Amino acid sequence: MKKKKVNLRDLKPNSEVQHTHNDGHNHGNGSAFKTYVPAIISFTMLIIGIGLDYFDVSFFKDWIRIAWYGIAYLPVGFPVVKEGWISIKKGDVFTEFFLMSIATIGAFVIGEYPEGVAVMLFYAVGELFQSAAVNRAKGNIKALLDVRPKEANVFREGDYKSVSPEVVNIGEKIQIRVGEKIPLDGILLSEKASLNTAALTGESKPDSIQKEAKVYAGSINLESVIEVEVTNKFEDSSIARILDLVQNATARKSKTELFIRQFARIYTPIVVFLAIGVTFIPYFFVDDYVFRDWLYRALIFLVISCPCALVISIPLGYFGGLGAASKNGILFKGASFLDAMTKINTLVMDKTGTVTKGVFKIKEVKAIGWNETEFMQYLMAMEEQSTHPIAKAILEYKAEGEDFEAQDVSEVAGKGLKGIVNGKTVLVGNKALMTANNINVPTETESIVESIVLVAIDNQFAGFVVIADELKEDAKETITNLHKVGIKNIMMLSGDKDSITQQVAKELNIENAKGGLLPEDKLNEVEILKKNPENKIAFIGDGINDAPVLAASNVGIAMGGLGSDVAIETADVIIQTDQPSKVVRAIKISRSTRKIVWQNIILAFGVKVIVLILGAGGLATMWEAVFADVGVALLAILNAVRLQRMSWDLAD
């Protein structure tokens, strides 16, 4: 899969959100006030006009009254009428701008000047609130744009020089002062560092790392000046990858969003023709037909029919879900995957790097006939000659005393190592190596399912070391909480030994587990599950070998911190913290988002249908019509904004 490059210079921190005639800019305080000036002018003139009408002031008659309300209408009405005209010229007639223009101009035609101004004023105010809510919903996502590093201190020609991160090459050394953002991905050269990774992972707790650990662009250096060797170019950095995902996520619509937009395009012209019918058809059936009365009812019908409550509140709900997920270190690649996550009933997961840390550690040391320290000195002397991950784990053991040195070390293919340490012949490897050299191995080692390193010194069995991958801290809690949220069918598929896979599954209370699988075997297992149409499958993985299964699943979830680029590119959802428990949170956010979206749909349709019927029967005025449109839109917005304030406590 070709990776899409992101030019971060094209991503503006204050990128605009346009919905209607209101520009929706992220204004400063001064320009924000200017945005509300037209509505304030119209409101002031409307209130004065209604007051003059109420007290029946003598001069406020005829053309003076018409002119007053006409001027009050222009600040809020002109932009809408203009937008409606532009849409008509483009061939898009039945828009909300057209509906509001016809309804309010029609009110002026029949002499209902205050109501014409009021309807357009409330519509404009509703649009302002909608725009503010959209910007608020985008806040968590747009905040990522502000973590883009602006410069890098790179070591060149014997000194550190400040340059753009885009011109720094792989392998160069950069310096990051306290409080500065790390501009590029790299390897820590300093002894240790404390980093704030909240922008990348959603975790506020500082991350303490040691020399040679990976560091990611966008992290903030907290304690002391550090040096980093660059491993990725700027456009390939972790922050660029996140920004790319976020930008694309807002463009991928859910099926519900697409349906509502298509529905609005059909529903709006139908209502327009119904309004025409409401105006003229009663002429043939009603004895006391009055054109002005039926036109008024039709105008109410048009105001109520405006679909903006649906068209804005539904995408806003999904936007809120995407933003809330991003705030929690979970990146959905689109609203469609928020929907898909709500339907998941089967979860398949990888083992290494997903529920385990993917790092080997010594679990047990047992020396026979030797003290542990001396036994480990012999073993470590041999393992220094090996590059195997297990050797690395053994060399992390802290042994007191001077280091031993191994000589004449040779590798016995598929069995282990043979060499001389302190004049003694040392064998380090598996049971096959011991058997080949006629060394008796205790039967207790046969019941150990983890990786085991056997050691013989001078043809005598000297002991063994058990090496195991550690479970992640939240692995057990994840399985428990998945059951709580209704995911009963959980399966583990691993390329590791089946015995180890079964033991890990037992620890986690996973009943269905298979080990020793190749990538194609994992894919086959998922394809078997997919044959049952009732199974909606999510797969969690982190390695290159997981990419085919991630692509085949209904929802592919990748671990974004330790995960491979291929897995991250293929997946639909990225867990930035590498915590499996975030999957439960992703499910909860998805379900809450869908719940709020459907609440908004039912609210908008329900109120509109009721007021449409009342309006056609002459029982509703323009004021009820305004509530059915703008009022419902505002209620839907407030409902959607709740997503930003919710706490998805995993213990709930």
Sheet with 214-215, strands from edge to edge, namely 159-163, 152-156, 173-176, 226-230, 186-188, 214-215
The catalytic position among 207, 339, 350, 469 is 350
Q: Residue 369 carries which DSSP code?
A: S
Which residues, in sequence order, are CB contacts of 512 under 8 Å at separation 6+? 489, 490, 491, 492, 505
Is-contact 529 339, C-beta < 8 A?
no
Q: Residue 319: which of 118, 120, 139 has the closest Cα? A: 139
Let me know: does 204 contact 198? Beta carbons within 8 Å. yes
Closest CA to 301 of 94, 102, 73, 79: 102
Judged by DSSP in three states, 237 sits in coil
Helix (H) or strand (E) holding 49: helix 29-54
Angle of CA points 101, 105, 111, to nearest 5°: 155
CA neighbor of 127 nearest in space, from 388, 306, 335, 278:
306
Single out the residue of 261, 302, 259 nearest to residue 278, CA to CA: 302
Judged by DSSP in three states, 208 sits in strand
The answer to whether residues 501 and 355 touch, using CB atoms and an 8 Å cutoff, is no
User: Is 621 in contact with 611 (CB distance < 8 Å)?
Assistant: no
Other C-beta atoms lying within 10 Å of the C-beta of residue 357: 17
Check if 649 is active-site: no
Q: Count CB neighbours of 418 within 10 A.
A: 20
Euclidean distance between CA atoms 129 and 100, whole angstroms: 17
DSSP annotation of 224: S
Alpha-carbon distance of 161 to 158, in angstroms, equals 9
- Cα–Cα distance for residue pair 599/606, rounded to 1 Å: 10
CA atoms within 13 A on the CB side of 462: 22
Token digits of residue 125 = 């105010």
Q: Which helix (H) or strand (E) holds 359?
A: strand 356-367
Residue 329 half-sphere exposure toward CB, CA atoms < 13 A: 24
Instruction: Kindly tell me the sign of the dihedral angle through the C-alpha atoms of 241, 244, 250, 256.
Output: negative
**Listed residue (425, 420, 436, 430) closest to 459, CA to CA:** 425
Query: How many other β-carbons are positioned within 10 Å of the β-carbon of residue 142?
Result: 20
Structure tokens at 590: 């998805």
Residue 620 DSSP code:
-
The position carrying tokens 């896979």 is: 501
End-to-end Cα distance, the chain: 39
- CA-wise closest residue to 425 among 365, 491, 378: 378
d(C-alpha 535, C-alpha 87), whole Å: 45
- Look up tokens 């060797």; give the residue: 229
Residues acting as catalytic residues: 350
